[in-house]
Amino acid sequence: MANWNEYSLGQLLSYEQPTPYVVSSTKYSDTYETPVLTAGKGFILGYTNEVNGIYDKLPVIIFDDFTTASQYVNFKFKVKSSAMKILTANTELVLPEFIFYRMQIIEFDASTHKRYWIQHYSKIKVKIPPTISEQERIVARIDDLFSQLNASVAELKEAKKRLGVYRQAVLKEAFDLCPEEKALSSVCIHITDGDHMPPPKSKTGIPFIMISNIHHNRINWSNTANVDRKYYANIDEKRRPQNGDVLYTVTGSFGIPVLVDYNKLFCFQRHIALLRPNKSITQKFLYYAMQDPRVYSQAVKKATGTAQKTVGLSVLRELRIPFIEAIEVQKKIVSKIEAHIFVCDSIEKTVDTALQQAEALRQSILKKAFEGGL
């Protein structure tokens, strides 16, 4: 790296405002030709049939002006909004793909909601090899390593998908033993949702759970909002979760049950429902029954809405779940499910760890590349 030259990003990349390329209609279809892009993780939001304002001076980097996320693009496109910059490389100095990879390891605090490129990000200095041929060699090496890594990641994701299929098969087989179905309302004391008014959030107090806090059928307590005790005290008792309840997401990512098998004060938003089982059904039997693919299928068919599908409480109460009257048999079915799910969960944790390690390795490859180590 001794002979590498230092430039600001603004010297290596010129920017263009995306306004002429913003899509007019968000009625996307996979049958249309032109992708609509965002610089964030979503990347391709959909496809449009609009023929005007298509960007075609390729390749470019699209840069989210608020988050600093970026994507390398080598195909014609339109964009979702004007909250980005379209960056074109000065090819006399730098290979477009080289500077894109270099941008992926820049550490930058984008926590303040403002535009960053002109005043801040473009002033960041980076070192690059003096010849395009050396940059090409480094990019080729990165591409080769990433190709191998991507193949491994694809295998891991496929394994995770198969685990999901297996989990569904376990549930179906277990509940095939049940001789009848019952409406959810007939096995619950309460079926309700959270308060419909926006809560007065505070820095401390009682945790307030949103759908974004629910992952893998569990609540992530690390980043919850909070409400004061006065707000919590005014919530109807049947809307306060207690040990023995089951929560169930009903909007957007609906159909995810969560066991409340602990004593903890918290409340939740209206996009989550609370199921309080009566004496005819055990908590865990209800929890697993709500994951039966046939129950989820009912919810999908009866969900309403366009932007975000919602399972209304009236629909939720009428969902038919597998049922068997004998509590001891319910417990045996749960034990059978958990024996298989335990193994499945253990494998899934291993896969998730491997996926995290793959992402860390991706960053390590880039860091090594731009330290002259490839």
Distance CA 48, CA 28 (A): 5
| Phi-psi domain of 372 (left: phi exceeds 0; alpha: psi -120 through 50; beta: other) | left
Average pLDDT in the chain: 93
> Quick one: average pLDDT of 202-215?
90
Task: Specify the pLDDT at position 279.
Answer: 97
Task: Specify the pLDDT at position 221.
Answer: 94
Q: Give first-to-last CA distance, the chain, whole Å.
A: 11
Task: Give yes or no for a contact between 99 and 89, defined as CB atoms under 8 angstroms apart.
Answer: yes
Task: Specify the pLDDT at position 202.
Answer: 81
Task: Specify the pLDDT at position 138.
Answer: 95
Task: Specify the pLDDT at position 112.
Answer: 86
Tokens of 18: 């995306």
Question: CA dist 151 to 44, 71, 144, 146, Å?
Answer: 21, 20, 11, 8
> Quick one: average pLDDT of 58-73?
95
Specify the 3-state DSSP secondary structure of 346.
helix
Angle between helices 96-103 and 327-369 (to 10 degrees): 130
Whether 255 shows a pLDDT value over 90: the answer reads yes
Q: What is the Cα gyration radius of the chain?
A: 26
Task: Specify the pLDDT at position 196.
Answer: 79
Task: Specify the pLDDT at position 8.
Answer: 96
Task: Specify the pLDDT at position 40.
Answer: 82
Task: Specify the pLDDT at position 160.
Answer: 92
Whether 198 shows a pLDDT value over 80: the answer reads no
What type of residue is 106? I
Distance CA 341, CA 171 (A): 9
**DSSP category for residue 195:** B
Whether 201 shows a pLDDT value over 90: the answer reads no
Question: What is the tens place of the pLDDT at every residue in 15-49?
Answer: 999 999 999 998 999 999 999 999 888 899 999 99
Please classify residue 114 by burial: count the beta carbons closer than 10 Å to its beta carbon, then call 0-12 exposed, 13-18 middle and 19+ buried: exposed
Distance CA 284, CA 266 (A): 20
Whether 354 shows a pLDDT value over 80: the answer reads yes
Name the percent of the chain lying above pLDDT 70. 100
> Quick one: average pLDDT of 120-142?
95
> Quick one: average pLDDT of 326-339?
96
> Quick one: average pLDDT of 323-337?
96
Question: Of 105, 81, 64, 61, nearest to 18 (Cα)?
Answer: 81
Task: Specify the pLDDT at position 165.
Answer: 93
Whether 6 shows a pLDDT value over 90: the answer reads yes
> Quick one: average pLDDT of 128-154?
95
Distance CA 352, CA 157 (A): 9
Strand partners, 201: 227
Task: Specify the pLDDT at position 305.
Answer: 83
> Quick one: average pLDDT of 225-250?
93
Task: Specify the pLDDT at position 103.
Answer: 96
Distance CA 319, CA 295 (A): 7
DSSP of 247-270: EEE-BSS---EEEE-S----EEBT
Q: How many CB atoms sit inside 10 A of residue 259's CB?
A: 18
Least confident interval from 181-190, 274-283, 363-372: 363-372
Q: Are strands 78-79 and 34-37 parallel, antiparallel or unpaired?
A: parallel
Specify the 3-state DSSP secondary structure of 299.
helix
